[in-house]
Copies of this chain bind each other. A is one copy, B any other.
Protein backbone atom coordinates (compact mmCIF):
# COMPACT_ATOMS: atom_id res chain seq x y z
CA UNK A 1 0.00 0.00 0.00
CA UNK A 2 1.39 3.47 -0.83
CA UNK A 3 2.58 5.39 2.20
CA UNK A 4 2.21 9.14 2.63
CA UNK A 5 3.77 11.27 5.36
CA UNK A 6 1.73 14.39 6.24
CA UNK A 7 3.18 17.11 8.40
CA UNK A 8 0.94 19.71 10.03
CA UNK A 9 2.58 22.90 11.28
CA UNK A 10 1.72 25.01 14.31
CA UNK A 11 -1.11 27.00 12.70
CA UNK A 12 -2.55 23.80 11.17
CA UNK A 13 -2.93 22.36 14.71
CA UNK A 14 -3.45 25.75 16.38
CA UNK A 15 -6.89 24.93 17.81
CA UNK A 16 -9.09 21.91 18.45
CA UNK A 17 -11.08 22.75 15.30
CA UNK A 18 -7.95 22.87 13.18
CA UNK A 19 -6.76 19.58 14.66
CA UNK A 20 -10.12 18.09 13.63
CA UNK A 21 -9.65 19.36 10.07
CA UNK A 22 -6.15 17.91 9.89
CA UNK A 23 -7.45 14.60 11.24
CA UNK A 24 -10.16 14.57 8.57
CA UNK A 25 -7.54 15.12 5.88
CA UNK A 26 -5.39 12.26 7.18
CA UNK A 27 -8.42 9.95 7.25
CA UNK A 28 -9.45 10.95 3.71
CA UNK A 29 -5.93 10.14 2.55
CA UNK A 30 -6.15 6.75 4.25
CA UNK A 31 -9.57 6.02 2.73
CA UNK A 32 -8.12 6.84 -0.68
CA UNK A 33 -5.95 3.74 -0.24
CA UNK A 34 -2.81 4.94 1.51
CA UNK A 35 -1.02 4.18 4.72
CA UNK A 36 -0.62 7.49 6.54
CA UNK A 37 1.94 8.84 8.98
CA UNK A 38 1.10 12.22 10.50
CA UNK A 39 3.81 14.48 11.97
CA UNK A 40 2.69 17.34 14.19
CA UNK A 41 4.23 20.56 15.43
CA UNK A 42 3.28 22.17 18.73
CA UNK A 43 0.08 24.23 18.71
CA UNK A 44 0.89 27.76 17.50
CA UNK A 45 2.37 29.83 20.33
CA UNK A 46 2.98 26.88 22.64
CA UNK A 47 6.74 26.56 22.09
CA UNK A 48 7.17 30.27 22.78
CA UNK A 49 5.07 29.97 25.94
CA UNK A 50 7.25 27.13 27.22
CA UNK A 51 10.52 28.86 26.36
CA UNK A 52 9.28 32.01 28.11
CA UNK A 53 8.79 29.98 31.32
CA UNK A 54 12.39 28.80 31.11
CA UNK A 55 13.48 32.37 30.35
CA UNK A 56 11.76 33.60 33.50
CA UNK A 57 13.99 31.31 35.53
CA UNK A 58 17.30 31.79 33.78
CA UNK A 59 18.69 33.95 30.97
CA UNK A 60 20.79 31.00 29.78
CA UNK A 61 18.83 27.88 30.77
CA UNK A 62 20.45 24.47 30.50
CA UNK A 63 19.79 23.10 27.02
CA UNK A 64 18.98 19.55 28.18
CA UNK A 65 16.16 20.80 30.42
CA UNK A 66 14.91 23.25 27.80
CA UNK A 67 14.61 20.41 25.29
CA UNK A 68 12.66 18.26 27.74
CA UNK A 69 10.42 21.26 28.41
CA UNK A 70 9.91 22.35 24.80
CA UNK A 71 9.23 18.82 23.53
CA UNK A 72 5.99 18.71 25.53
CA UNK A 73 4.38 21.00 22.95
CA UNK A 74 4.55 18.33 20.25
CA UNK A 75 3.64 15.60 22.75
CA UNK A 76 0.37 17.42 23.46
CA UNK A 77 -0.38 17.90 19.74
CA UNK A 78 0.35 14.25 18.96
CA UNK A 79 -2.03 12.96 21.63
CA UNK A 80 -4.77 15.39 20.60
CA UNK A 81 -4.35 14.48 16.91
CA UNK A 82 -4.60 10.76 17.71
CA UNK A 83 -7.75 11.44 19.75
CA UNK A 84 -9.24 13.53 16.91
CA UNK A 85 -8.63 10.73 14.37
CA UNK A 86 -10.24 8.23 16.76
CA UNK A 87 -13.20 10.56 17.34
CA UNK A 88 -13.83 10.48 13.58
CA UNK A 89 -13.89 6.69 13.55
CA UNK A 90 -10.27 6.02 12.61
CA UNK A 91 -7.51 4.14 14.38
CA UNK A 92 -4.52 6.17 15.55
CA UNK A 93 -1.59 5.94 17.91
CA UNK A 94 0.78 8.69 18.96
CA UNK A 95 4.52 7.99 18.92
CA UNK A 96 7.02 10.20 20.75
CA UNK A 97 10.69 10.56 19.88
CA UNK A 98 11.69 7.95 22.46
CA UNK A 99 8.89 5.59 21.43
CA UNK A 100 9.52 5.61 17.68
CA UNK A 101 13.21 5.85 18.47
CA UNK A 102 14.12 8.93 16.50
CA UNK A 103 17.74 8.57 17.52
CA UNK A 104 19.75 11.82 17.44
CA UNK A 105 23.12 13.07 18.58
CA UNK A 106 23.24 14.90 21.94
CA UNK A 107 23.44 18.45 20.58
CA UNK A 108 20.51 19.76 22.61
CA UNK A 109 18.32 22.35 20.86
CA UNK A 110 19.89 21.58 17.47
CA UNK A 111 20.22 17.79 17.44
CA UNK A 112 20.69 15.86 14.21
CA UNK A 113 18.81 12.67 13.44
CA UNK A 114 21.02 9.56 13.22
CA UNK A 115 18.42 6.83 12.76
CA UNK A 116 14.68 6.14 12.80
CA UNK A 117 13.15 2.77 13.68
CA UNK A 118 11.16 2.18 10.49
CA UNK A 119 10.06 -1.25 11.72
CA UNK A 120 8.21 0.27 14.65
CA UNK A 121 6.40 2.54 12.22
CA UNK A 122 5.51 -0.33 9.88
CA UNK A 123 4.26 -2.38 12.84
CA UNK A 124 1.91 0.43 13.81
CA UNK A 125 0.68 1.03 10.25
CA UNK A 126 0.26 -2.67 9.61
CA UNK A 127 -2.81 -2.64 11.84
CA UNK A 128 -4.66 -0.05 9.73
CA UNK A 129 -3.62 2.57 12.23
CA UNK A 130 -2.52 6.11 11.44
CA UNK A 131 0.77 6.73 13.23
CA UNK A 132 0.91 10.22 14.74
CA UNK A 133 4.52 11.21 15.34
CA UNK A 134 5.52 14.11 17.57
CA UNK A 135 7.76 16.33 15.45
CA UNK A 136 10.77 18.41 16.54
CA UNK A 137 11.89 15.81 19.11
CA UNK A 138 14.22 12.85 19.34
CA UNK A 139 16.16 10.92 21.90
CA UNK A 140 19.90 10.44 22.27
CA UNK A 141 21.80 7.25 23.12
CA UNK A 142 21.43 7.93 26.85
CA UNK A 143 17.66 8.40 26.62
CA UNK A 144 17.76 12.20 26.95
CA UNK A 145 15.08 14.08 25.03
CA UNK A 146 16.54 16.27 22.27
CA UNK A 147 15.01 18.78 19.88
CA UNK A 148 15.94 19.55 16.30
CA UNK A 149 15.83 23.36 16.40
CA UNK A 150 13.21 25.83 15.21
CA UNK A 151 11.07 24.38 12.44
CA UNK A 152 12.45 20.96 13.31
CA UNK A 153 9.13 19.25 12.64
CA UNK A 154 9.77 19.69 8.91
CA UNK A 155 13.00 17.77 9.36
CA UNK A 156 11.21 15.09 11.42
CA UNK A 157 8.69 14.68 8.62
CA UNK A 158 11.22 14.41 5.82
CA UNK A 159 13.43 12.06 7.85
CA UNK A 160 10.48 9.78 8.61
CA UNK A 161 9.51 9.84 4.93
CA UNK A 162 13.08 8.94 4.01
CA UNK A 163 13.11 6.08 6.54
CA UNK A 164 10.01 4.47 5.04
CA UNK A 165 10.51 5.52 1.41
CA UNK A 166 7.44 7.77 1.25
CA UNK A 167 6.61 11.15 -0.20
CA UNK A 168 6.14 13.97 2.29
CA UNK A 169 3.35 16.54 2.39
CA UNK A 170 4.04 19.68 4.42
CA UNK A 171 0.79 21.40 5.39
CA UNK A 172 1.28 25.02 6.31
CA UNK A 173 -0.53 28.37 6.34
CA UNK A 174 0.63 29.36 2.85
CA UNK A 175 -0.29 27.49 -0.31
CA UNK A 176 3.20 26.90 -1.64
CA UNK A 177 6.52 28.48 -2.47
CA UNK A 178 6.25 31.75 -4.38
CA UNK A 179 8.54 33.43 -6.89
CA UNK A 180 8.87 36.16 -4.27
CA UNK A 181 6.98 37.58 -1.28
CA UNK A 182 3.44 38.39 -2.57
CA UNK A 183 3.15 41.09 0.10
CA UNK A 184 5.92 42.99 -1.63
CA UNK A 185 5.25 42.06 -5.22
CA UNK A 186 1.61 41.56 -6.26
CA UNK A 187 2.61 39.70 -9.43
CA UNK A 188 4.36 36.93 -7.44
CA UNK A 189 3.09 33.49 -8.46
CA UNK A 190 3.18 30.03 -6.96
CA UNK A 191 6.01 27.81 -8.19
CA UNK A 192 4.77 24.37 -9.29
CA UNK A 193 8.08 22.56 -9.07
CA UNK A 194 11.40 23.62 -7.62
CA UNK A 195 14.64 21.72 -7.21
CA UNK A 196 16.15 20.96 -3.79
CA UNK A 197 19.12 23.15 -4.64
CA UNK A 198 16.98 26.15 -5.47
CA UNK A 199 14.82 25.60 -2.41
CA UNK A 200 17.94 25.50 -0.24
CA UNK A 201 19.06 28.86 -1.56
CA UNK A 202 15.59 30.33 -1.15
CA UNK A 203 15.19 28.88 2.35
CA UNK A 204 18.52 30.20 3.53
CA UNK A 205 17.78 33.53 1.91
CA UNK A 206 14.69 34.20 3.91
CA UNK A 207 11.80 32.35 2.25
CA UNK A 208 10.77 30.68 5.51
CA UNK A 209 8.43 28.05 4.12
CA UNK A 210 10.59 25.04 4.94
CA UNK A 211 13.32 24.55 7.52
CA UNK A 212 16.60 24.50 5.60
CA UNK A 213 17.76 21.25 7.17
CA UNK A 214 14.61 19.44 6.05
CA UNK A 215 15.48 20.34 2.46
CA UNK A 216 19.02 19.01 2.93
CA UNK A 217 17.61 15.73 4.22
CA UNK A 218 15.07 15.57 1.38
CA UNK A 219 17.85 16.14 -1.16
CA UNK A 220 20.13 13.58 0.47
CA UNK A 221 17.49 10.83 0.39
CA UNK A 222 15.54 11.98 -2.68
CA UNK A 223 12.29 12.52 -0.76
CA UNK A 224 9.69 14.36 -2.87
CA UNK A 225 8.22 17.14 -0.70
CA UNK A 226 4.86 18.76 -1.41
CA UNK A 227 4.42 22.11 0.37
CA UNK A 228 0.72 23.00 0.46
CA UNK A 229 -2.00 24.79 2.39
CA UNK A 230 -3.91 23.05 5.17
CA UNK A 231 -6.86 25.30 4.34
CA UNK A 232 -7.45 24.21 0.74
CA UNK A 233 -7.18 21.22 -1.57
CA UNK A 234 -5.27 23.08 -4.26
CA UNK A 235 -1.88 21.62 -5.14
CA UNK A 236 1.07 23.51 -3.71
CA UNK A 237 4.74 23.40 -4.65
CA UNK A 238 6.69 20.17 -5.22
CA UNK A 239 10.28 20.27 -4.07
CA UNK A 240 12.06 17.58 -6.06
CA UNK A 241 15.30 16.47 -7.66
CA UNK A 242 16.80 18.54 -10.43
CA UNK A 243 16.23 15.88 -13.06
CA UNK A 244 12.49 15.89 -12.32
CA UNK A 245 12.27 19.65 -12.43
CA UNK A 246 10.65 20.45 -15.74
CA UNK A 247 10.74 24.22 -15.74
CA UNK A 248 14.24 25.09 -16.84
CA UNK A 249 13.82 28.79 -16.34
CA UNK A 250 16.81 31.00 -15.73
CA UNK A 251 15.62 32.57 -12.51
CA UNK A 252 13.17 30.73 -10.23
CA UNK A 253 12.66 33.25 -7.46
CA UNK A 254 13.69 36.46 -5.76
CA UNK A 255 14.44 36.40 -2.03
CA UNK A 256 14.70 39.25 0.44
CA UNK A 257 16.62 38.92 3.70
CA UNK A 258 16.22 41.75 6.20
CA UNK A 259 18.18 39.91 8.82
CA UNK A 260 21.76 40.89 8.05
CA UNK A 261 23.99 43.62 9.38
CA UNK A 262 27.21 44.93 7.91
CA UNK A 263 30.54 45.38 9.65
CA UNK A 264 33.25 47.47 7.96
CA UNK A 265 36.85 47.48 9.08
CA UNK A 266 38.31 50.64 7.61
CA UNK A 267 42.02 51.14 6.96
CA UNK A 268 43.23 47.72 8.01
CA UNK A 269 46.95 47.15 7.66
CA UNK A 270 47.34 45.05 4.50
CA UNK A 271 49.41 42.27 6.04
CA UNK A 272 48.98 38.48 5.70
CA UNK A 273 47.00 36.90 8.54
CA UNK A 274 44.94 39.93 9.49
CA UNK A 275 41.77 38.64 7.86
CA UNK A 276 42.29 35.13 9.24
CA UNK A 277 42.67 36.58 12.73
CA UNK A 278 39.38 38.47 12.42
CA UNK A 279 37.26 35.62 11.10
CA UNK A 280 38.92 33.09 13.37
CA UNK A 281 37.79 35.12 16.38
CA UNK A 282 34.23 35.26 15.05
CA UNK A 283 34.17 31.52 14.28
CA UNK A 284 35.33 30.67 17.81
CA UNK A 285 32.26 32.55 19.09
CA UNK A 286 30.04 30.60 16.68
CA UNK A 287 29.16 33.70 14.68
CA UNK A 288 28.41 32.88 11.05
CA UNK A 289 29.69 35.36 8.51
CA UNK A 290 27.86 35.61 5.20
CA UNK A 291 29.28 38.02 2.62
CA UNK A 292 32.93 39.08 2.76
CA UNK A 293 34.44 41.80 0.58
CA UNK A 294 38.01 43.03 0.75
CA UNK A 295 39.10 46.11 -1.22
CA UNK A 296 41.94 48.64 -1.23
CA UNK A 297 41.10 51.41 1.17
CA UNK A 298 39.28 54.28 -0.44
CA UNK A 299 39.86 56.52 2.54
CA UNK A 300 42.54 59.10 1.99
CA UNK A 301 45.46 59.08 4.39
CA UNK A 302 45.36 62.24 6.44
CA UNK A 303 48.10 64.70 5.63
CA UNK A 304 51.01 64.48 8.02
CA UNK A 305 49.96 61.07 9.25
CA UNK A 306 52.58 58.45 10.00
CA UNK A 307 50.48 55.91 8.22
CA UNK A 308 51.27 57.27 4.84
CA UNK A 309 53.91 54.64 4.42
CA UNK A 310 51.62 51.65 5.23
CA UNK A 311 49.29 50.20 2.62
CA UNK A 312 45.79 49.70 4.03
CA UNK A 313 42.70 47.85 2.95
CA UNK A 314 38.96 47.86 3.88
CA UNK A 315 37.26 44.62 4.93
CA UNK A 316 33.47 44.40 4.87
CA UNK A 317 31.40 41.44 6.01
CA UNK A 318 27.86 40.66 7.15
CA UNK A 319 26.52 38.81 10.17
CA UNK A 320 22.95 38.35 11.35
CA UNK A 321 21.46 41.26 13.23
CA UNK A 322 21.09 38.92 16.24
CA UNK A 323 24.83 38.24 16.27
CA UNK A 324 25.82 41.88 15.75
CA UNK A 325 26.23 42.82 19.48
CA UNK A 326 28.59 39.90 20.03
CA UNK A 327 30.44 40.68 16.80
CA UNK A 328 30.85 44.30 17.95
CA UNK A 329 32.29 43.11 21.24
CA UNK A 330 34.86 40.96 19.42
CA UNK A 331 35.73 43.70 16.96
CA UNK A 332 36.38 46.19 19.75
CA UNK A 333 38.91 43.88 21.31
CA UNK A 334 40.49 43.21 17.90
CA UNK A 335 40.65 46.71 16.42
CA UNK A 336 44.05 47.47 17.82
CA UNK A 337 45.45 44.04 17.03
CA UNK A 338 44.45 44.19 13.37
CA UNK A 339 45.43 47.83 13.12
CA UNK A 340 42.10 49.07 11.78
CA UNK A 341 41.64 52.80 11.80
CA UNK A 342 37.92 52.53 12.40
CA UNK A 343 35.10 49.97 12.59
CA UNK A 344 31.68 50.85 11.25
CA UNK A 345 28.43 48.99 11.78
CA UNK A 346 25.37 49.26 9.59
CA UNK A 347 22.02 47.61 10.30
CA UNK A 348 20.22 49.62 7.65
CA UNK A 349 20.84 47.10 4.89
CA UNK A 350 19.02 44.19 3.21
CA UNK A 351 20.12 41.37 0.97
CA UNK A 352 18.21 40.73 -2.25
CA UNK A 353 18.98 37.54 -4.16
CA UNK A 354 17.94 35.85 -7.36
CA UNK A 355 18.01 32.04 -7.44
CA UNK A 356 17.78 29.64 -10.37
CA UNK A 357 19.29 26.46 -11.73
CA UNK A 358 19.30 28.04 -15.19
CA UNK A 359 22.05 30.47 -14.17
CA UNK A 360 24.57 27.70 -14.64
CA UNK A 361 24.01 27.59 -18.36
CA UNK A 362 22.89 31.14 -19.03
CA UNK A 363 25.57 33.80 -19.24
CA UNK A 364 24.77 37.39 -18.46
CA UNK A 365 22.33 36.83 -15.58
CA UNK A 366 24.45 38.87 -13.18
CA UNK A 367 24.87 41.69 -15.69
CA UNK A 368 21.09 41.74 -16.21
CA UNK A 369 20.53 41.89 -12.45
CA UNK A 370 22.85 44.91 -12.08
CA UNK A 371 21.19 46.61 -15.07
CA UNK A 372 17.74 46.18 -13.58
CA UNK A 373 18.89 47.67 -10.26
CA UNK A 374 20.77 50.49 -11.97
CA UNK A 375 17.68 51.37 -13.99
CA UNK A 376 15.96 52.06 -10.67
CA UNK A 377 19.05 54.05 -9.51
CA UNK A 378 19.66 51.54 -6.72
CA UNK A 379 23.23 51.49 -5.44
CA UNK A 380 24.74 48.04 -4.81
CA UNK A 381 26.78 47.95 -1.58
CA UNK A 382 28.20 44.46 -2.00
CA UNK A 383 27.76 41.38 -4.18
CA UNK A 384 28.19 37.66 -3.58
CA UNK A 385 27.48 34.78 -5.92
CA UNK A 386 27.19 31.02 -6.01
CA UNK A 387 26.49 28.64 -8.84
CA UNK A 388 22.73 29.16 -8.66
CA UNK A 389 22.26 32.50 -6.89
CA UNK A 390 23.41 36.10 -6.93
CA UNK A 391 22.99 38.28 -3.85
CA UNK A 392 23.27 42.06 -3.59
CA UNK A 393 23.48 44.11 -0.42
CA UNK A 394 21.35 47.26 -0.64
CA UNK A 395 20.19 50.10 1.59
CA UNK A 396 16.97 49.05 3.35
CA UNK A 397 14.94 51.78 1.66
CA UNK A 398 15.37 50.06 -1.71
CA UNK A 399 14.21 46.60 -0.54
CA UNK A 400 10.73 46.43 -2.06
CA UNK A 401 11.65 48.40 -5.15
CA UNK A 402 14.53 46.05 -5.88
CA UNK A 403 12.44 42.91 -5.37
CA UNK A 404 9.74 44.14 -7.75
CA UNK A 405 12.26 45.31 -10.36
CA UNK A 406 14.08 41.95 -10.36
CA UNK A 407 10.94 39.82 -10.16
CA UNK A 408 9.26 41.45 -13.12
CA UNK A 409 12.51 42.13 -14.97
CA UNK A 410 13.27 38.39 -15.01
CA UNK A 411 9.76 37.62 -16.18
CA UNK A 412 8.57 35.82 -13.03
CA UNK A 413 5.28 37.70 -12.72
CA UNK A 414 1.91 36.03 -13.13
CA UNK A 415 0.97 38.24 -16.09
CA UNK A 416 4.31 38.70 -17.77
Contact = CB atoms under 8 A, between A and B. Distances in A.
A274 interface: no
Contact of A143 (B65, B71, B86, B98): B98
B50 A76 contact: yes
Contacts of A78: 68
Contact of A68 (B62, B64, B75): B75
Interface string A64-90: 111011011001101110111011000
A333 interface: no
A283 interface: no
A104 interface: no
A57 interface: yes
Given A57-B20, A86-B58, A69 B79 contact: yes
Contacts of A65: 79-80, 82-83, 86, 94
Given A65-B83, A75-B68, A82-B65, A57 B94 contact: no
A115 B11 CA distance: 41
A236 to B, nearest CB: 27
A330 interface: no
A53 interface: yes
A163 interface: no
A401 interface: no
B87 A58 contact: yes
| Dominant secondary structure of chain A at its interface with chain B | helix
Nearest to A100: B143
A53 B68 contact: no
A87 B16 contact: no
A96 interface: yes
A75 B74 CA distance: 13
A94 B72 contact: no
Interface string A23-67: 000000000000000000000000000100110111001101110
Given A65-B94, A68-B94, A72-B75, A80 B99 contact: no
B68 A54 contact: no
A354 interface: no
A294 to B, nearest CB: 44
Interface in A322-347: none
A76 B53 contact: yes
A25 to B, nearest CB: 16
Contacts of A66: 79, 83
A261 interface: no
A19 interface: yes
A83 B99 contact: no
A81 to B, nearest CB: 9
10 closest residue pairs by CB, A with B: A69-B79, A72-B72, A65-B79, A58-B87, A68-B79, A57-B83, A16-B56, A65-B82, A61-B83, A65-B83
Given A16-B53, A19-B57, A68-B75, 15 more contacts: A16-B57, A53-B80, A57-B80, A57-B83, A57-B84, A58-B83, A61-B83, A61-B86, A62-B82, A65-B86, A65-B94, A66-B79, A69-B76, A69-B80, A98-B98
29 contacts: A16-B53, A16-B56, A53-B76, A53-B80, A54-B79, A54-B80, A54-B83, A57-B80, A57-B83, A57-B87, A58-B86, A58-B87, A61-B86, A61-B87, A62-B82, A62-B86, A65-B80, A65-B82, A65-B83, A66-B79, A68-B78, A68-B79, A69-B75, A69-B79, A69-B83, A71-B75, A75-B75, A96-B145, A99-B143
